Structure 1
Amino acid sequence: MILSPFEWTIAKRYMLPGRGEAFIALVAGISLVAVMLGVAALVIVMSVMNGFRAELLDKIVGLNGHAIIQAYGGRLDNWQDILKKVEATPGVTRASPLIEQPLLASFNGRVEAILVRGNTSQDIARIAQKRVAGSFADLKPGSDTVVIGSRLAENLGAQVGDTITIINPQGRSTPFGTVPREIGYRVAAIFEIGVYDYDNAFVVMPIPDAQTLLLTGDSIGMIEVTTRDPDKVMDYLGPLKEQLAGRAVVTDWKTINASLFEALAVERVAMFVVLSIIVLVAVFNILSSLIMLVRAKTRDIAILRTMGATRKSLLKVFVAIGFVIGAMGTLTGLALGMLFLFFRQPIVHAVEYVTGQNLWDPSIRFLTDLPSRSDPVEITVICIMALVLSFLATLYPALKAASTDPVQVLRYE
């Protein structure tokens, strides 16, 4: 919709407050602010929800792979042959043997539940990228060294160089019963994955050391698999799943974390619908301000009609006024949302300082920091939705203005 110089002049005149029109200008300003806040809220919430899902997926899948092949009974014998079959499967980019067992760890009288992970040197090298203290160079088979999560180190009070005791209830049998197996390991390094549950429980060591600790011989617990596309993991592993039927079960990341990611998907849709109502309320403000403007300018509209202004011109003028308010609110809301996302962590800390409340407890939120990942497609949809609703809100008052009968208005002038 292109406005002529005459139409644009009238539109600008009506958008600027005149004498006796301060209230109309105030309502129009409130409408702009309401659209701005609605768009900003949508951009912020959807970006945080996307970031939360993406960060969880990156960290959980990045550490555990896209699928797990686990033997019935927890021990996978002759795993080398299965590993070769997995590596030869089309679509698989990486396959690694893994041992994972919940145990106990103690240090200076403190006892914590832990999750012992026996990893290959390649997997340990990937975890080394998350190191916050110490060195992974000493983590070698037979060295009796481990690396632990940052939260676990805090809970135990252990630091790099300290020796923690790992307790395995399945120890040696004696005439007096089974004696738990207790082995001391030196803490070579501390890492931080960024997922609270992992940093709070993981103790990583080489696979041979884990086999010795757990008395499993040459067997392992599972094989973790990484594929080219996480969403097609079962398409890749379908034939292999049939071959391993009765020996092992293949579980993908969607099944392992189904409840978490399904809850996130439902919450994401619900938040979008609820926050869209804010934009809808702002659009009704635009509608009310335009109706007030049309009623205040009825005499001016009648005079313009007598001077030759067409119904189409008046329609375009009032549509342009409302659309400009919506467009300015959308653009400023988009800028405000991006500014908030850029400074999101300092803002969270500032609110925590003012309120005295912990707004982002990692033990509840899984992640240590507030994540954000903006989707250009979603942001475009949000902006288009706000602009379309703003346009629709202008139609009724614009049609009302265009249908003004100058004879009826100016009869007694």
Structure 2
Amino acid sequence: MTRQIALIVDDEPDIRELLEITLGRMKLDTRSARNVKEAREWLAKEPFDLCLTDMRLPDGTGLELVQHIQQRHPQVPVAMITAYGSLDTAIHALKAGAFDFLTKPVDLGRLRELVATALRLRTQESAEQPVDSRLLGDSPPMQTLRKQILKLARSQAPVYISGESGSGKELVARLIHEQGPRNEQPFVPVNCGAIPSELMESEFFGHKKGSFTGAVEDKQGLFQAANGGTLFLDEVADLPLAMQVKLLRAIQEKAIRTVGGQQEVTVDVRVLCATHKDLAAEVAAERFRQDLYYRLNVIELRVPPLRERREDIAKLAEVMLRRLANDTGLDPARLDPEALEKLKNYRFPGNVRELENMLERAYTLCEDDRISASDLRLADAGPAGENGEASLAQIDNLEDHLEDIERKLIMQALEETRWNRTAAAQRLGLSFRSMRYRLKKLGID
């Protein structure tokens, strides 16, 4: 079996020797370069499976080398070695296309983890294929999204996934994880808005038995559960400021301390996050820490809303109806041309999730396995105008219409908080008593 080869670029002989010995013990062959010029010569001469480069080099910077490798040898994962505390430099390297980064003095355990992850990525090269069939649609925005997912899966950079509610942000995060070198390790999604603030630290970092009333045994936190894999923070804008400080430290130090624990525990976790809110606006309003924003938003990936890819609606509807038929054991239904046209002209404020709910309802109402425009009940579904207003012609009874809107918003809040009624009430600005009254009035169980 051919041994894998790593390129080490550093002008300090002691660092080069340390890296050569460590990688040699991992059964890798190494080549060394003292500057950018020598590194480029090596890269032109033979193929490499990995490159480790210092940031400061006699004839340039490691950033220039990252950019050169991205252009000429994009299949080679490159990791940047930076001075301790130069987080800005590391972030610039990740944005330029670096796979990951290390800080000096080099922690050998962390180095071995990084190398192992990079080599797993190289073994996946032959299996690199288009993102699987769960991400439906052939519109230009979706083709772009697929390419971005494949590119981001190669990196260990934190990714901020922006997009409206129901657009599929968690699916995108899951695909980034599954297409990357951590795919055999856990993917742990967490809805930050659904965790009560008093339990948040324990949920994220775990706790020791007896550390507080009710802590009857040791409990593992989300960071430990995701160790080696990916932690997906959905609705990250809902984190309280006190928790944002602790999260920032855990991400920067790659270590956590359990509630009631004395020692810090190192964790190797890639962090992906999402929110339907405008995170930059939350920073401007001082509801979200700027330093955490820059740490999470190394790379932003926007998931397009359904109204920007209307040409995908027919395919999405076909697949969803087929899935409904499989789930129920009944014959699949098909959309009338008029019904499909209505869907294509609808604004879909709830995006793919709303389309799915709408088709599920229509599937149960339709006759002869044909879904007509009237089965869709688009007038009941709410906004249809370009600015989200329902036209007066669509409203038969104002009280009923307002009740439909109230039900829709409450259902959306419940779905987004995984049916945590307290969290849903907070999201809607209601007291729990008021929320309970509305659920009873609307018949929502």
Q: Same fold (TM over 0.5)?
A: no
Which of the pair has the greater relative contact order for Cα pairs under 8 Å at 6+ separation?
A: 1
- TM-score, with structure 2 as normaliser: 0.21
- TM-score, with structure 1 as normaliser: 0.23
Q: Which structure carries more helix by proportion?
A: 1
Q: Which structure carries more strand by proportion?
A: 1
Radius of gyration: which is bigger?
1
